Amino acid sequence: MAVKVLAIVLAGGEGKRLMPLTADRAKPGVPFGGIYRMIDFVLSNLANGGFLKIVVLTQYKSHSLDRHITKTWRMSTLLGNYVTPVPAQQRLGPRWFAGSADAIYQSLNLINDENPDYVIVFGADHIYRMDPKQMVNDHIASGAAVTVAGIRQPKAMSDQFGVIDVAEDGRRIRAFREKPTEVDGLPGSPDEIYASMGNYVFTTRALCEAVTADAENPDSKHDMGGNIIPMLVAKGEANVYDFRDNEVPGSTERDRGYWRDVGTLDSFYEAHMDLIATLPVFNLYNMDWPIFTNYGSWPPAKFVHGYDDRQGRAVESMISPGVVVSGSLVERSVISPNVRVNSWAHVEGSVIMEGVSVGRRAVVRNAIIDKNVTIPEGARIGVDLDRDRKLYTVSDSGIVVVGKGQRIEP
């Protein structure tokens, strides 16, 4: 008899470190890679893996995220499949989610209604490919209460992650530590550690009991990684799943095992730059494991003018439908739908989101431009960072970020 699995996607984070991109939307709803939203990556992994009963728990500024899920992620109702956004229902009183564990506790009715054997709990804001079925099978075979996905990282980077400390067998988790400065390496690989990917598979009873006990603890922060996993670790019931063992169809040696936490403006920008190389670090063109989305009814991209210094060109770039590159140059950039780059403009090393217009002779360099921004003729962004810091957001590494609909100074 086939096991029953329910997938829960945690999509309620504010994403404060991605401001101004999250000023008007939830972090998982932030556009990524031209035509996608961040949440499309986890939902695509679940769908490709055959898990087609999915609830998405939302909270902050969720309208655009809810709309995207509703318009894009439609499963066969004939077969009982669904992807549905679920806001904080306040079933237990007039309060919002107090943390990721509390979000599940307040949504136990969803688990009770579906009555699954196992529950997948994945985050919504990471960029990666993964076959979750392999992780579920590993969890079932282990008999553990919870299995935590771990990605190998250099030991020297332990202070940047939640670190999974494993026993000598390499499987059982003996400690779950948040950004420690001193750690032991892995058995057989002393220079590596397991960083938590924020992806978990639970036996249903263990999850329900753990979040219920956590809800009764007034000192808890009600966090999955900070409270629920350590609770099960203390009982000796938590195992790690090595992401390196996950075999995704169509992956190349270059992009196999890719995973990005795009929690900062710089990591968001760097993840985009990973897409555009001739042999990309993360390959969006793997059609054996597609990333699904809906980007509307835009016409094909168009490149116009081709004489003297007025030539529409794009080099080492991803150009979405509906884009017009008119007598201008786009280099090492990701251009979203319905963008126009006008004559003699130069866009370089940038992420341009939907509906942006780049005026004639404008320069946009090392920037992230959010939706519906009009860049006036001759404007210069990313050229003088001292000036840009007075007008826009500039990241630690010097990436200029212009918010949604923000006015640009000529």
Annotated binding site for alpha-D-glucose 1-phosphate: 162, 178-179, 196
Collapsing DSSP states into helix, strand and coil, what is residue 56? strand
Extract the tokens encoding 148. Answer: 């935590």
Element (H, E) at 385: helix 385-391
Query: Measured on CA atoms in the order 171, 173, 174, 175, is the torsion positive or negative?
Result: positive
Element (H, E) at 197: strand 192-203
Alpha-carbon distance of 36 to 73, in angstroms, equals 12
Alpha-carbon distance of 174 to 197, in angstroms, equals 17
Q: 218: which residues sit within 8 A by CB, 6+ positions away? A: none
Of the CA atoms within 13 Å of residue 99, those in its CB half-sphere come to 15
Ramachandran quadrant class, 260 (left: phi over 0; alpha: psi -120 to 50; beta: rest) = beta
Amino acid making up residue 379: A
What burial letters (b/e) apply to 172-184, b meaning 16+ CB within 10 Å? bbebbbeeeeebe
